[in-house]
Amino acid sequence: MAENATANNIDTAKSFPELQPATRVLLGPGPSNVNSRVMRAMAAPVVGHLDPDFVRVMEDIKKLLRAVFQTANEITFPVSGTGSAGMETALMNLLEEGDEVVIGVNGVFGERMADAAGRLGARVHRVEAEWGRVIEPERIEAALKAANQPKLLGIVHAETSTGALQPVATLGAMAHRYGALMLLDAVTSLACVPVEIDRWEVDACYSCTQKGLSAPPGLSPVTFSARALAAVRARKSKCRSWYFDLAMIEKYWGAERVYHHTAPITMNYALYEALRIVTEEGLDARFRRHQENAAALQAGLSALGLEPAAQEGHRLPQLAVVKVPSGIDDAQVRAELLRNFNIEIAGGLGPFKGKVWRIGTLGESSRREHVTLVLGALETILASMGVEVARGAALAAADRAYRQSAGA
C-alpha cells in the first residue's frame, strides 16, 4: 500500500515548484490586466482588520467608491467576495419570501439574477429579450404595472454574455412610480462607462474588482441608497445570510467598527490603489479611452468580416462580442491566440456557446497596443484557416478610427 504523503516526506521543491504563471494579455470579459502599482500595493504589510492603518484605508476606499459610483450614499463599501457576492448581498437584504420582483433577462447574468431571487422565495416576473438585444423600457414598465406590489426591479447594465448595453437612466424613477426599488448589476460597466447612481435614482448596485477597476478578483463594491436601507430595516424576517447581512456588515464598515468578519486586507489594498488610478485618470477621460479603443477594435473586426452579435446602437465599448465565421472552430482560434500570441479572449455562453468570441478591452486592458495586437493575431490565425481576409485591412481600419477619434 502506498504511503500517504505527509509534510515530512514531500520533496516540496520537486513536487510543488514555485509559482510561475505566464504573463498574459487579458482581453476577455474579465479579469483584466492589473497595473503594477496595484500589484505593489498588495505587497504592503498585512495588519489587523481593525488596525488604525487599515481603518484609514477602509474610509478612503468608501470615499473613492462613492466618486466612481457617482453617489453620496453612506453605505458604499466592498463586500468580501466576488461580484456574485455583491449580487447575493443586494438580493438577500432587499427581498423576503413572497416579494414580487421584476427582472430583465436577456443573457446569462439576467438569468442568474432571476434564479437567485427565486431561490429566496421571491415571485419573479421575467421581462425577456432575445440574446444580443436590449429590453425596451415600455416592456419593463408593463411588467411593473402587472405586478401586484413589486418590491424590486433588477436590471443588468452591461450584459457580459452578449455585449449589449442596457439603457437604464430612466428605470430608477420608473421603479419608484410603482413602489419598487431599483437594483443595478454594474459588474462589467463600472469604471468603463458612466454609472450614475444618484442621478439615475438607483437604490442598490453591485460590481466587481477584476473588470473596469482592474484589480484582482475578490471584492464586490456595493452601494445602497437611504430608500434601500429603510427597506432593509423594515424587514419582517432576518436576512437569510449571516455573512451578507447588511445590518451587521454596515456596523463593521461604519463608525462603530463592530467585528463581523476578517476582511481580506491585501485585496482591499489592491482596490484602494486601483481606485486611486481611476480617479487620477478621471472618469470622463477613462470613458473616452474605452470608447476610442472600442471604435478602433470594432472597425478592425469588421474589416476581418466579423459581425457584432449585439444590437446596433447598444453595444458595449468595453466588450466586443462577434460571431464566429462559418466553418471556424471557436475553441481552436482561442487556443492559438493563447499559445502563439499570449492573448486570452473568451468564447460564448449559453445559446452563444461556440458561436461568438468575447473580446474585452476593460480598464487596464483598454490600450491601443492591445487592440492592434489582437487584430493582427486574429488576421494571421483566420488567414491560416482559410478565411479570406485582406492583409493589413484590420490594422488600417483601426488606425483610421484612431485618427478620426483624435480629430473629433
pLDDT bucket at 1, cuts 50 / 70 / 90? very low
- Give the H/E segment covering residue 165: strand 164-165
pLDDT, tens only, 138-149: 999 999 999 999
pLDDT score for 287: 98
Does residue 5 carry a pLDDT above 70?
Answer: no
pLDDT digits (tens, 9 = 90+) for 245-264: 999 999 999 999 999 999 99
Looking at residues 364-386, what average pLDDT do you find? 97
Res. 31 pLDDT band, cuts 50 70 90: very high
For the chain, give the percent of residues with pLDDT over 90: 95
Dump strand ranges (E) for 73-157.
75-80, 100-105, 123-128, 150-156
d(CA 40, CA 36) in angstroms, rounded, equals 6
Other Cβ atoms less than 10 A from the Cβ of 152: the count is: 26
Helix axes 393-407, 283-303, angle to 10 degrees: 150
Query: Around Cβ 313, how many Cβ atoms within 10 Å?
Result: 8
Q: Which three cell numbers stand for residue 240?
A: 437569510
Q: What is the pTM assigned to this prediction?
A: 0.96
Give pLDDT tens digits for 150-195: 999 999 999 999 999 999 999 999 999 999 999 999 999 999 999 9
Separation between Cα atoms, residue 11 and residue 41, nearest integer Å: 32
Q: Indicate left, alpha or beta for 350 from its phi (over 0: left) and psi (-120 to 50: alpha).
A: left
What is the per-residue pLDDT across 76-135, written as a single tens digit (0 to 9) for each? 999 999 999 999 999 999 999 999 999 999 999 999 999 999 999 999 999 999 999 999
Q: What is the pLDDT of residue 11?
A: 87
Q: Which pLDDT value is given to residue 201?
A: 98
Give me the amino acid identity at 184: L
Asked if 178 and 172 touch (Cβ cutoff 8 Å), the reply is no
Cell of 155: 436590471
Domains of the chain, CATH where assigned:
36-279 (3.40.640.10), 282-407 (3.90.1150.10)
Residue 4: predicted pLDDT? 61
Mean pLDDT of 340-359: 98
pLDDT tens track for 218-236? 999 999 999 999 999 999 9
Q: What is the Cα–Cα distance from 358 to 129, expressed in whole angstroms?
A: 20
The CA distances from residue 38 to 41, 105, 213, 268, 367, in Å, are: 5, 35, 10, 10, 17
Average pLDDT value for residue range 392-400: 97
